Amino acid sequence: MFKMKRYLCLAVVLVFALSVMLSGCGGSKPTDAEKTSDAEVSTTGGDEESSVPKDTVEIKFYSVADTQPDMQKINDAATEYLKDKLNVKIIAENFGWGDTYTPKINPMLAAGEAIDVVFTSNWAANYRQNAVAGYFYELNGLLEKYPKIKEIVGADFLNGSAINGKNYAVPTNKEKVHNWGYLLKKDLVDKYKIDAANIKKMEDLEPYYEQIKANEPGITPLLTVQMDATWHLLDWDNISDDDIPGALYNDNRDTKIFNQFEAPESIAMYKKMREYYKKGYVHPDAATQDNVNEEMRSGKYFSVVQPLKPGKAEEMFTSTKIEWVQVDITPPIMSNRETIGALLAIPAKSKNPERAFQFIEMLYTDKFLKNLFVYGIENEHYTKVSDNVVKLTDNQGYMAGNGWRFGDQFKDYLLDNEDPEKWVKFEEYNNKGTALTSLGFAFDSSNVDNQASACKNVIQTYYKQLFCGAVDTDATVAKMSSELKAAGADELIAEMQKQYDAWLTETGKK
């Protein structure tokens, strides 16, 4: 009897050992600990195996970025990785920047195409407009059922992107404040011995613009493409979209809303840009250019105004393959811009909204999946330097970068040229921004939709020329002002002020 018990125990041990060996040998790729973690991968909090749906569904994921030749490889890798997690087939595509993305996405939304996940913001595929129009799925129920996104970004930041208490998109977990400044082409900074620490305002660059214009044929001193312009150095606290009149000063000096396009500071900026344009500091075709990343990659520009954050220069190396020096000009500000500057929404006509939301959630919780869409495939598009540091290869097939577009950016690998303390500095940067009084205010344009639309059309007609200095300032501003008045700018701003005053009273901020 004793021998029989001993043999039975031995058999149990052998079976257990064999099962462990088989499970270890049969694991699916990737096997690196960075790529798989029960805490990161699970989207249900329950038994992962039993929660995987039996039916495979397609998830169409459209984002803003340059088109990538190897996008299908990324789709295939994501589909394989998610097979035993969500059982989805990923169909992801990028549609470019600026005026390229929005004209692609908005007609699809209006036509009710069965898209599952889209990038949206206050500057591309306009979040508020598309949400109010009914094109985005309400996410409150899914956020309660799958709470990890709320835990990661924080309830306050998530609420900042809500419209009347309803979430129609989820914001990227990234910098929660912003400031503006320049990126300068590093080889020219070195050549002309420019001390970037001494550049405090745009005029400090003028002597270098003169040198570069005189001595660097083929190089334009200042890149201005649409709203990637010195205009942003004014950093207005816009009440609605960047191209709709109505703003506050960004220093909490008062609560009076005004037309920022006609403000004295803006007119002075238009005139300064007119001066630059005449001197040849700005490209003669600036008013018609529409892709800032493409122009930056050309290597034909010395400086460009950009939204900044710790490590922005190194980050832009990913998509441009050009080294930059970062120059901060404006102070960090916490505004509504951050909460709706980069979000993912589920279109109302998605056939699989819950599976789409689970995919979105994994971009916040799964390090491998997040970095697959940021950097591509290991040993093809990048190589590992260490567990959390990567080096890009010479393969140009996938250079998406721009991890700020979606998910949790704090899960992004660091590039080998980036500060090892980048994410620590992000946290410090987030903590030192000045919170604007308007933070949390959401303007409802339904009472003045016609005026808002008409004013937007007017601004779209004139801003590109004014921002780059391609037209006479006084005559153009006079025409723009006349057309804005006829379009109902006064009524629009009065409605903004009425709602803002009421909100200030309700929140006890007045």
With beta carbons less than 8 A apart as the criterion, state whether 57 and 82 touch: no
pLDDT recorded at residue 30: 53
Distance CA 453, CA 94 (A): 27
Looking only at the bridges linking them, the beta strands covering 389-392 and 170-171 are unpaired
Residues 281 and 350 in one domain: no
Q: Evaluate whether residue 257 is within a structural domain.
A: yes
Residues 126 and 85 in one domain: yes
Distance CA 265, CA 207 (A): 22
Q: Evaluate whether residue 192 is within a structural domain.
A: yes
With beta carbons less than 8 A apart as the criterion, state whether 185 and 322 touch: yes
With beta carbons less than 8 A apart as the criterion, state whether 405 and 124 touch: no
pLDDT recorded at residue 7: 40
Give the pTM.
0.76
Residues 196 and 169 in one domain: no
pLDDT recorded at residue 100: 87
Residues 97 and 64 in one domain: yes
Query: Which CATH number do you get for residue 251?
Result: 3.40.190.10
Distance CA 261, CA 231 (A): 10
pLDDT recorded at residue 4: 39
pLDDT recorded at residue 50: 54
> What does each C-alpha distance from 336 to 59, 143, 342, 408, 443 come to in angstroms?
30, 21, 11, 19, 11
Residues 147 and 292 in one domain: no
The last residue of one of the domains, among 321, 356, 376, is 376
Residues 187 and 302 in one domain: yes
Q: Evaluate whether residue 16 is within a structural domain.
A: no
Distance CA 82, CA 193 (A): 50
Residues 168 and 183 in one domain: no
Distance CA 70, CA 92 (A): 11
Q: Evaluate whether residue 11 is within a structural domain.
A: no
Q: Evaluate whether residue 418 is within a structural domain.
A: no
Residues 183 and 304 in one domain: yes
Residues 500 and 362 in one domain: no
pLDDT recorded at residue 156: 83
Distance CA 240, CA 504 (A): 17
Q: Which residues contact 384 (CB under 8 A, 6 or more apart)?
A: 378, 390
Distance CA 390, CA 416 (A): 6
The last residue of one of the domains, among 376, 398, 432, is 376
Q: Evaluate whether residue 431 is within a structural domain.
A: no
With beta carbons less than 8 A apart as the criterion, state whether 462 and 480 touch: yes
Q: Which pair of tokens denotes residue 136?
A: 């985005």
Taking every pair of C-alpha atoms in the chain, what is the biggest distance, in angstroms? 106
CA angle 225, 231, 232 (to 5 degrees): 95
> H or E segment at 186?
helix 186-191
Quickly count: other Cβ atoms within 10 Å of residue 289's Cβ.
19
- Name residue 496's amino acid: M
Number of domain units in the chain: 2
> What does each C-alpha distance from 503 to 13, 240, 446 come to in angstroms?
68, 15, 16
What range defines the domain where residue 135 resides? 54-175+339-376
**Weakly modelled stretches of the chain, pLDDT under 70:** 1-50, 98
> H or E segment at 308?
strand 301-308
Q: Evaluate whether residue 46 is within a structural domain.
A: no
CA angle 113, 118, 123 (to 5 degrees): 115
Residues 193 and 320 in one domain: yes
Residues 106 and 229 in one domain: no
Q: Evaluate whether residue 135 is within a structural domain.
A: yes
Beta bridge partners of 39: none
Cis peptide, bond prior to residue 245, ω within 30 of zero: no
Distance CA 268, CA 203 (A): 13
pLDDT recorded at residue 47: 42
Looking only at the bridges linking them, the beta strands covering 88-94 and 57-63 are parallel
Q: Which pair of tokens denotes residue 378?
A: 């290991």
pLDDT recorded at residue 13: 39
Distance CA 308, CA 199 (A): 15
Residues 171 and 266 in one domain: no
Q: Which pair of tokens denotes residue 238?
A: 């816009």
476: nearest Cα among 490, 463, 457: 463
